[in-house]
Structure 1
């Protein structure tokens, strides 16, 4: 049995829906997926085991990807990863967004991957499909020894 750990942000329920799909897939494969949502009310803790971050894209300002584009709603997850040595255990980022926003699709996850020097593992649209969840699971599992 492989134990997969995820930290995620979800404001509209789309990321939560995707995490629920991942949990079902992990269980059907005899694995355990532990997921914790990180929000403004989350108390900082020191992570001691590897994890993957799943982050949606919510932006304001600007017309593309420049410095005038500001992250909304996901800052608590980024700050949590920055706390102590938590970024040391981050193995990669999975992101979501709406493809209607063109170059801003998945921008938050791309920024996290760059900032924390980890791979951008996978991107999906909105709630993600079952197929997306299977792909993401198969990408994540080897990171946890499976």
Structure 2
């Protein structure tokens, strides 16, 4: 039977491996595979088939609405009239909102991601007898595994 689990790359992984060795699982039956970190930047524009849940235009649309209302209100006393000034205010609000959101995503979120130190996980595969599978699973859970699954071979 094989027991698969995922861990963050931390000391708990090393403790889990040493506990498995103390339990009687030989080293050649334990296989750890570190996953590679993403090397390319995420795209800002979503496609029809892929979306990351981050919207660029939400703040732009809100500011466009607010600025167009203000522009139309002020436009009653200005030379071009309320329609032109409402359109100018809406365009200016959208550009300002888009700029704020791009700055937030590219600068502030990127800095937070670097400070958090988001690292890839490690997949741990343990090949053992069916009689030891329950104990191996409990050892992995006790050492803060992110997920555990058993597969009969």
Structure possessing the higher radius of gyration over alpha carbons: 2
TM-score by length of 2: 0.24
Q: What TM-score results when the alignment is normalised by the length of structure 1?
A: 0.25
Please state which structure has a larger fraction of its residues in helix. Answer: 2
Which is richer in strand? 1
